[in-house]
């Protein structure tokens, strides 16, 4: 399982200071609910874009429950599950603006928009329960403007969707299972992306 949590530091500070070491376990296991049952298990590595600094590798802290033995990872909310581009940059693109230094990610961001636009109608009921004023049938921009107005930027939207419904704007959330070894393989460099929207980075 994965928890998405806001961090008190920026992505760059997180990466530069090994902030993952300071990430604490939740008070209780999100799987079984037992208190004080999570113990450190280690880290996995994933990529994330950083404005002006290309792709950074960051480490995500993992814990294991001593009661139910399931693992829990704590993903900083500046990252989106399985997506390479930082949530803030995705938010900016969806809102119609993008910093010049992030222009190289526009082709990938355009694929994000297509993928999200195709998935949103599938979770119309969920979205309407969160944002009651959501129009019946709207353009992608209409969806995004309503969601952003009701819930905030992408990091907040994702936190809400994952925490309450186990979905993201990209699809169903698949972080329930134990991490399998192949998920821990670290790609040294980002080497392109799959047009079908395959995972670009670790969870």
d(CA 158, CA 166): 9
Report the residue from 45, 51, 67, 111 that binds Zn ion according to the rule CB under 5 A.
67
SS percent in the chain: helix, strand, coil, step 5? 40, 20, 40
Between 29 and 134, name the residue whose CB sits nearer to Zn ion: 29
What's the closest the beta carbon of residue 168 comes to Zn ion, in angstroms?
Answer: 23
Residue corresponding to tokens 């993008």: 98
DSSP secondary structure letter of residue 79? S
* Residues touching Zn ion, count (CB under 5 A): 6
Question: Max alpha carbon distance in the chain (Å)?
Answer: 49
- Which range, of 59-67, 93-101, 128-136, 142-150, touches Zn ion by CB under 5 A? 59-67
Give the residues across from 3 on adjacent strands.
74
Does the footprint of Zn ion cover residue 26 (CB under 5 A)?
A: no
Contacts of 136 (CB under 8 A, 6+ apart): none
> Which one, 67 or 160, has the nearer CB to Zn ion?
67
In terms of CB distance, is 38 or 90 closer to Zn ion?
38
Distance of closest approach, residue 76 Cβ to Zn ion, in angstroms: 22
- Residues forming contacts to Zn ion in the complex (CB under 5 A) are 29, 31-32, 65, 67-68
């Amino acid at each position: 399982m994965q928890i998405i949590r806001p961090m008190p530091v920026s992505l760059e500070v997180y990466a530069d200071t090994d902030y993952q070491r300071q990430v604490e376990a939740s008070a209780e296991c999100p799987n079984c609910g037992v208190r004080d049952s999570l113990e450190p298990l280690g880290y996995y590595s994933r990529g994330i874009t950083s404005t002006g600094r290309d792709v950074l590798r960051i480490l995500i802290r993992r814990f294991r429950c001593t009661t139910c033995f399931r693992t829990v990872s704590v993903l900083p909310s500046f990252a989106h599950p399985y997506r390479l581009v930082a949530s803030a940059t995705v938010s900016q693109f969806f809102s119609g603006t993008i910093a010049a230094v992030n222009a190289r990610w526009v082709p990938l961001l355009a694929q994000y928009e297509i993928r999200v636009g195709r998935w949103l109608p599938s979770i119309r009921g969920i979205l309407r329960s969160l944002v009651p004023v959501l129009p019946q049938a709207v353009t992608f921009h209409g969806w995004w403007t309503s969601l952003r107005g009701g819930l905030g930027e992408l990091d907040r939207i994702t936190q809400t969707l994952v925490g309450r419904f186990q979905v993201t704007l990209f699809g169903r959330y698949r972080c329930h299972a134990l991490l399998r070894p192949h998920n821990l393989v670290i790609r040294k460099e980002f080497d392109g992306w799959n047009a079908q929207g395959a995972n670009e980075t670790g969870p």
